[in-house]
Copies of this chain bind each other. A is one copy, B any other.
Amino acid sequence: LLNEKEFHMSKTLLELADHLGGQIIGDPDVTIYGLGTLDNATEGQITFLANPKYTQKVGTTKASAVILPPGVDSFGHNAVVVANPYLAFAKLLTLFTSKPRVVKGIMDGAFVSIEAIVGKDASIYPGVCIADGVRMGDRVTIYPHVTIYEGVVLGDDVTLHAGVSVREGCKIGDRVTIHNGSIIGADGFGYVPDGQAWFKIPQIGIVVIEDDVEIGASTTIDRAALEVTRIGRGTKIDNLVQVGHNCTIGENCVIVAQAGIAGSSQLGKHVTLGGQVAITDHISIGDNAMIAGQSGVFGSVAPGEVLSGTPAIPHKTRLKAAAVFSHLPEMRRSIARMGNRLTKVEEGGTPPQVI
């Protein structure tokens, strides 16, 4: 299907190599019009080799150029050599498919408080509501039916898709993208028992989302009770994720869909949470830890650990134990049978020994 895409652009191989910081093999002046896979690329396209086991396919591809890792035969093709061909491919895909941003201004049907500050070159669609005291950087794109409550601060180059809400006083950094329907800064879930009823603890903190964060659709990040719920720079959050009040998520974390992090827990840098993971409240997850999908983590995790299961234990240990799980009934029967046999032996039930 890549082949069916129209890429409204052409570049010489030299331009692409410059863009990637790669070395050219072959003709630097060949013109490239788009991208394709090793199998499906056609003349005029560039392809890439990410997995060495497909090296032979480089020989047969119809692409006009190939992105290669160092030390791999180009089979006579034009090539660009880079350390990470998959990353390079993503960069070229971005180059070929990104469209120029259109500045629409504040469109008819948008409600922008006269006490809000709008930066340069904004695109603010119909139905957007921006309250008093909001401050926005330059080049923000705010799609329909976004609501920005009082006192919110947005950085430069922020994109908020349709239906996003940003609640009172929250702060969003530069180059942050939030997909449709996500809710930033709704009240944290805090109550004190008052007899059988529950008395609400005011949630008067905020959410801070640092630069270069991307947040998926229908995700909820609660405001702090006091202080701050923080999403660290460069972190990527998928759809339908819950981040509780007063959490701190470090830089460059990856949090997959439907994961949930309970109140006041802290993630270090570059932590990965799989889909549907649950992190209990008030714990710490160390840098570079990885939690497999659907795991439940009920205690703090050291840096670099790889855990799975509920309660989460080291992933390799869990795989071995899980492999035995289905044998539990036969194990139990074996134990019972051996107990009987042992009793017989103890009672002299063994066949008499010839001495």
Question: Taking beta carbons and an 8 Å cutoff, which residues of A are in contact with B?
Answer: 1-2, 5, 84, 86-87, 90-91, 93-94, 97-98, 108-109, 111, 125-127, 129, 143-145, 147, 149, 161-163, 165, 167, 179-181, 183, 186-187, 189, 191-194, 196-202, 204-205, 212, 214, 216-218, 220, 222, 226-228, 234, 236, 238-240, 242, 244, 251-252, 254, 256-258, 260, 262, 269-270, 275-276, 278, 280, 293-294, 296, 298, 309-311, 313, 317-318, 320-329, 331-332, 334-335, 338-339, 341-342, 345-348, 350-355
A346 in contact with B335 given A147-B143, A196-B269 (CB within 8 Å) = no
Which residues of chain B come closer than 8 Å to A242, judged between CB atoms?
238-240, 257-258, 275
Whether B147 pairs with A162 at a CB distance below 8 angstroms is yes
Q: CB distance B257 to A260 under 8 Å? A: yes
CA distance A270 to B348 in the complex (A): 59
Query: How far is A350 from B353 in the complex, measured between Cα atoms in Å?
Result: 10
Instruction: Kindly provide the distance from the CB of A15 to the nearest chain B CB, expressed in whole angstroms.
Output: 19
Chain B residues with CB under 8 Å of A270's CB are 196
Q: Determine the chain B residues whose CB is within 8 A of the CB of A183 once the complex forms.
A: 163, 179-181, 217-218, 239
B220 contacts A240, C-beta separation under 8 Å = yes
Residues on the B chain within 8 Å of A258, using CB: 242, 258, 260, 278
- The answer to whether B327 and A332 have CB atoms under 8 Å apart is yes
**Contact residue among B87, B205, B220, B334 (Cβ-Cβ distance under 8 Å from A192):** B87
Number of copies: 3
Further contacts, 13 of them, CB under 8 A, given A275-B278, A318-B326: A1-B228, A90-B200, A111-B144, A127-B145, A163-B181, A189-B238, A200-B214, A242-B257, A242-B275, A294-B296, A317-B326, A323-B329, A353-B355
**Are A328 and B321 in contact (CB-based, < 8 A)?**
yes
